[in-house]
Structure 1
């Protein structure tokens, strides 16, 4: 699916997604029109989905991150859909993952401090529907967080 030039373009875009096609072309030693066509094709194929801003929430004053693992009441047929819909409405929930196994859903939640987290937990998290069990894991450190793909 991807050839060597595609991979080189994607690696360059991972390094600096704001580069213009001409700048990518110059760095790779190929024609700008060729890079532009490749980028268009990669977008059309859904390989390159867009450019986004990555904001460090700690720089905005959020000091606490908690990973919450939920087991849902599976006797309720709409438990997953209703839980996820409600969790999406909590602004401090920055990630939602679903699983097969003992844990059904994991939420990554941020808070300004422990007092803010306690308020959020009591007012918004415990109010989520269909919770059978919940486990909180306090984040201590991020050892590896890599968005770059090994291309």
Structure 2
């Protein structure tokens, strides 16, 4: 996606929506310092241009029984593009894997995995991840504590 030119009002809109995607257009317009109709037009433009990719609810994993978070470092036997894409497709179909990043260097992918308990994670690891085609090794680290979790990106309100 090409970089989109954003003015200060666009940045205020984005910052506020990132903090609370459920606020009304009237509240968003007030916070951005404009009236509601142009605010709605700007939001629609930001959506159609792909700057705003979507909206979602921020769910509490513990409340839904997902008390285990694990990061897995995956090395593949081959880094041919077809093999990388096959692994990404495999990961896409596993709901326990919440994030997947391809890296450069020794490790090919880092995955964020959620699980209900350690036994369920062990079953997932041995039945779905390590036997996946082209997987050479998987190293895992269990999250002990989350000290910062801030989805999104920093929005520079001073840039123009």
TM-score, L = length of structure 1? 0.88
Q: Is 1:46 aligned to 2:50, yes or no? A: yes
Residue 77 of structure 1 and its aligned partner are, at CA, apart by: 5.9
Matched, 1:19 2:23: yes
Contact 1:21-1:36 within 8 A present in 2 as well: yes
The reply on whether 1:117 has 2:121 as its aligned counterpart is yes
Indicate the residue corresponding to 2:134 in structure 1.
130
Answer whether contact 2:97 2:113 (CA < 8 A) is retained: yes
Deviations 1:51-110 (CA, angstroms, capped at 9, x unpaired)? 112222221111211111111011766321222222222221111111111100112111
On the 8 A contact 1:87/1:128 being kept in 2, the answer is no
Match of 1:85 in 2: 89
Q: CA RMSD in A?
A: 1.9
Aligned counterpart, 1:145: 149
TM-score normalised over the length of structure 2:
0.84
Question: 1:150: how far off?
Answer: 2.6
What SS class does the counterpart of residue 56 from structure 1 fall into? coil
Residue of structure 1 equivalent to 2:72: 68
Given that 2:130 and 2:138 are in contact with CA atoms closer than 8 Å, whether structure 1 keeps it comes out as no
> 2: CA distance between counterparts of 1:99 and 1:83?
13
Paired with 1:29 and 1:68, the residues of 2 have a C-alpha distance of 44
Superposed displacement of residue 50, structure 1: 2.2
Q: 1:78 & 1:44 partners in 2: Cα distance? A: 31
Give unpaired runs (5+ residues) of structure 1.
none
